[in-house]
């Protein structure tokens, strides 16, 4: 069972998200605003703050983690968090009526948890069971909920109104947040952030060199990536990507590999 403090914290965050998104959407939209990004002035400022935080804290910590922790141990950590992600991926596949994928994810969790030392070893992939990365934001998109405005949250990074709600639901489904001791919960969350950032070190270096306007670059890549995932790669050809609620071209963005797919807790 989660701690009372943790539950109250996230209830408060959910209310703040809903209120903040409503107020910002009402006051930030202008005649020249990108339809997918009416909150751009706010988003750019948060993006700048996040970038400073990444350069000053997250990236150095992640680099130290890579330098100090042996590769097999880092792989085990990544596998552990990936196994937890398969739990809510299975639930979301079921909600999307993808029975086969839901069964495969459930089998992955069972095999890796029991035979893979609690998920430290990815036996399921070696056995040929594919991994399906689904989240509640995608589930909402599959059922026709529009993405809403693009938004950049402090620490969490790129998202949309729909994906923000999805993140809050996925957080509640994450088995690693169900501890009596909040110290364990927050320690695991911190380690997960470091693990995700460490795995993005190479991509972020390319991103720094390739992007002229890093904000626009990341925003477009994120939106295209999310749209691609919702349609499972089968993007409709009869929709105008520029006016679609899920803005994106009818092809995979060549930049999507640089998109960290924040919130960082998604695995």
Instruction: Write the CB contacts of 181 (distance below 8 Å, at least 6 apart in sequence).
Output: 3
What are the helix (H) ranges across 54-181?
59-68, 71-95, 99-114, 123-126, 136-142, 161-173
Residue found under tokens 């807790």:
265
> pLDDT tens for residues 131-143?
999 999 999 999 9
> pLDDT tens for residues 108-126?
999 999 999 999 999 999 9
What tokens were used for 9?
């914290």
What is the share, in percent, of the chain residues with pLDDT greater than 70?
A: 76
| Spatial distance between the Cα atoms of 18 and 57, rounded to a whole number of angstroms | 29
Is the pLDDT higher at 106 or at 256?
106
In the prediction, which pLDDT does 258 show? 40
pLDDT class of 260 with cuts at 50, 70, 90: very low
> pLDDT tens for residues 11-66?
455 455 545 554 555 554 555 568 899 999 999 999 999 999 999 999 999 999 99
Is the pLDDT higher at 168 or at 35?
168
Residue 153: strand, helix, or coil: strand
Sorted by where each begins, the domain ranges of the chain are 4-198
Residue found under tokens 């910002």:
24
Q: What is the b/e burial string over 192-228, where b = at least 16 CB atoms within 10 angstroms of the residue's CB?
A: bbbbbbbebeeebeebeeeeeeebebbbbbbbbbbbb
Whether residue 263 has pLDDT greater than 50 = no
In the prediction, which pLDDT does 256 show? 38
In the prediction, which pLDDT does 20 show? 55
pLDDT class of 262 with cuts at 50, 70, 90: very low
pLDDT class of 180 with cuts at 50, 70, 90: confident
| Spatial distance between the Cα atoms of 40 and 118, rounded to a whole number of angstroms | 42
DSSP states of 183-244 as a string?
Answer: HHHHHHHHHHHHHHHHHTHHHHHHHHHH-SSHHHHHHHHHHHHHHHHHTTT---TTS-TTTS
Whether residue 206 has pLDDT greater than 80 = no
| Spatial distance between the Cα atoms of 154 and 207, rounded to a whole number of angstroms | 20
pLDDT class of 239 with cuts at 50, 70, 90: low
| Spatial distance between the Cα atoms of 151 and 42, rounded to a whole number of angstroms | 8
Is the pLDDT higher at 256 or at 54?
54
The residue among 200, 252, 261, 245 whose CA lies nearest residue 224 is 252
Pairing type for strands 150-153 and 157-160 reads antiparallel
In the prediction, which pLDDT does 21 show? 52
> Are the C-beta atoms of residues 49 and 56 closer than 8 Å to each other?
no
In the prediction, which pLDDT does 151 show? 98
- Centroid of chain to Cα 47: 16
Whether residue 97 has pLDDT greater than 60 = yes
Is the bond preceding 263 in cis, omega lying within 30 degrees of 0? yes
Reading phi first (left if > 0) and then psi (alpha if -120 to 50, else beta), residue 120 is in alpha
Task: Classify residue 250 by its DSSP letter.
Answer: S
> Are the C-beta atoms of residues 217 and 255 closer than 8 Å to each other?
yes
- Tell me the residue length of the chain: 267
By mean pLDDT, which of 115-129, 160-174, 243-257 is the weakest? 243-257
pLDDT class of 212 with cuts at 50, 70, 90: confident
Residue 80: strand, helix, or coil: helix
Rounded to the nearest integer, the mean pLDDT of the chain is 83
């Amino acid at each position: 069972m989660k701690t009372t403090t943790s539950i109250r914290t996230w209830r408060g965050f959910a209310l703040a998200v809903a209120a903040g998104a409503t107020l910002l959407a009402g006051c930030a939209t202008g005649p020249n605003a990108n339809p997918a990004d009416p909150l751009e002035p706010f988003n750019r400022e948060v993006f700048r703050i996040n970038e400073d935080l990444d350069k000053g804290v997250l990236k150095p910590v992640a680099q130290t983690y890579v330098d100090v922790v042996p590769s097999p141990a880092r792989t085990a950590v990544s596998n552990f968090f990936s196994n937890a992600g398969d739990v809510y991926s299975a639930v979301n596949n079921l909600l999307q009526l993808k029975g086969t994928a839901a069964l495969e994810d459930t089998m992955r969790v069972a095999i890796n948890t029991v035979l893979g030392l609690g998920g430290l070893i990815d036996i399921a992939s070696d056995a040929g069971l594919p991994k399906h990365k689904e989240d509640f934001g995608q589930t909402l998109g599959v059922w026709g909920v529009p993405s809403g405005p693009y938004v950049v949250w402090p620490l969490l990074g790129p998202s949309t109104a729909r994906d923000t709600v999805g993140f809050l639901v996925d957080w509640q489904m994450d088995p690693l947040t169900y501890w009596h001791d909040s110290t364990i919960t927050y320690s695991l969350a911190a380690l997960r952030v470091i693990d995700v950032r460490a795995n993005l070190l190479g991509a972020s270096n390319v991103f720094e060199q390739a992007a002229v306007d890093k904000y626009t670059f990341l925003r477009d890549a994120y939106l295209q990536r999310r749209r691609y995932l919702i349609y499972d790669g089968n993007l409709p050809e009869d929709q105008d990507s520029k006016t679609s609620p899920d803005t994106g071209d009818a092809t995979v963005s060549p930049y999507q590999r640089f998109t960290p797919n924040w919130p960082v807790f998604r695995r």
